Copies of this chain bind each other. A is one copy, B any other.
Amino acid sequence: MVQKFGGSSLRDADRISHVADRIARERATGVDLVVVVSAMGDTTDQLLDLAARITRDPDPRELDLLLSTGEHISGTLVAMALHARGVPAISLTGAQAGIRTDSAHGRARIANVDPSRIRGELDAGKTVIVAGFQGSTADDHLGADITTLGRGGSDTTTVALAARLEADRCEIYTDVEGIFTADPRLVREARLLPVIGYEEMLELAQQGAQVMQTRAVELGWVNGVEIAVRSSFSEHPGTVIKEDPFVEQRNKVRGLAHDRKVAKVTLVAVPDRPGVAHAVFAPLAEAGINVDMIVQNVSHAGTTDLSFTIPEADLAKAKRLLEPVVRGLGAKDLTTDAAVAKISIVGAGIQNAPGYAARMFGALAAAGVNIEMISTSEIRITCIISRDDLERAAVALHRAFELERPEAIVEHPARPVARRRAAGSRAS
């Protein structure tokens, strides 16, 4: 079994002791355990702050070596806490755990996992603690550099190890009980989902649900690794992310996702000719600004309005970049709205069942919420609305799709779902 404990579960010595108790109990059942750890609490932010006091533009290679220390520290402390409980344990750096990556510092991709050392330590009866979020470019110290995997890196480490070790289970311990039908802070009736499909989880995560990073979910999907998301502060089994054979029989909408930190940009009366989209979006892409929804209206008298959404944090930079573009294109105006929000319904059943969009728009209209933009995927419908309307919209949609009602389908744990193994799934 591979478990992962996030930074909030390891914030101080007390929480580390609590995690060690938990690991010791699990280990006492006789199961081989690999435990991936994140850095303690806000260690990573503190290290970034240290670097920021030295330079505004830290070298990515040096930054990776700096940040990797956060997980070394938490890993050694968890190992020590296990020793104090009489549990044989060893902590390994990402490099020692055999995590080999490309050399894209700060956002490295895992190229291979060499599980030989982990297997050796497990065979010696040890619980293996692995520093998450990191790897190295080669086996040899003299030729290798330390890399980090970017946002959600520890989850990615966890799922990659579970895949490579062909672990029975993979558990992500965090500070929430699992995946809910909506953010419980927004919708009081929100219900914990016992099961969710990979694709649904991906859409929820992409649309703003912050529990799991999309990358680890994708890796789990490709390798057929079932991922349990659980709270390190309770015994609740949480949510299992897996291929869901009952998807047809369930409520077609599995959950709501929202993102409060969205800004809308509109180029008014842009001449409707080829090359316009490239002129607008190329400079944003170069600047690393992630453009999400794009809507272009029907052309009137040779001009069109082009609207899109970006993270609110990037709005000022985007305006600076786009003002010369707007002048160059001869558009009439550039308007922005920093106070919008995004709300989505997600469910694998949506694609085969008509009428969901109409039901969503109707529910929002009945709640007095104006829809500013719409986009859809096969299993998702997303609306941009005023940020002030977000809570009202979420409650209305949760009720309209009866998300508070428990699942009708009973799981059959005795009949496990066949794992889908993609070609090359051993090398994650």
Q: Which residues of A contact B (CB under 8 A)?
A: 13, 16-17, 47, 50-51, 53-59, 61-63, 65-66, 68-69, 72-73, 75-77, 79-81, 83-84, 90-91, 93, 95-96, 98, 114, 116-117, 136, 139-146
Contact = CB atoms under 8 A, between A and B. Distances in A.
Contacts of A54: 13, 16-17, 77, 80-81, 84
B73 A90 contact: no
Contacts of A143: 117
Contacts of A17: 54
Given A84-B55, A143-B117, A77 B66 contact: yes
B61 A73 contact: no
Given A62-B91, A69-B69, A79-B59, A98 B142 contact: yes
A76 B66 contact: yes
A332 to B, nearest CB: 43
A116 B136 contact: no
Nearest to A50: B77
Contacts of A142: 96, 98, 114, 116-117, 139
Given A95-B141, A96-B141, A62 B76 contact: yes
A205 to B, nearest CB: 31
Given A96-B144, A140-B140, 5 more contacts: A54-B84, A55-B80, A57-B83, A57-B84, A141-B141
Nearest to A129: B62
A218 B83 CA distance: 37
A47, A69, A76, A116 — which one has the most chain B CB atoms within 10 A of its CB? A76
A18 to B, nearest CB: 12
Nearest to A138: B141
A205 B70 CA distance: 36
A136 B272 CA distance: 64
A77 B91 contact: no
A234 B283 CA distance: 49
A17 B51 CA distance: 12
A13 B50 contact: yes
Contacts of A72: 65-66, 68-69
A73 B80 contact: no
Given A47-B73, A136-B141, A81 B66 contact: no
Contacts of A75: 65
Contacts of A77: 50-51, 54, 66
A142 to B, nearest CB: 5
A204 B136 CA distance: 44
A73 B83 contact: no
Contact of A83 (B59, B76, B144): B59
B73 A66 contact: yes
Contact of A91 (B65, B81, B83, B141): B65
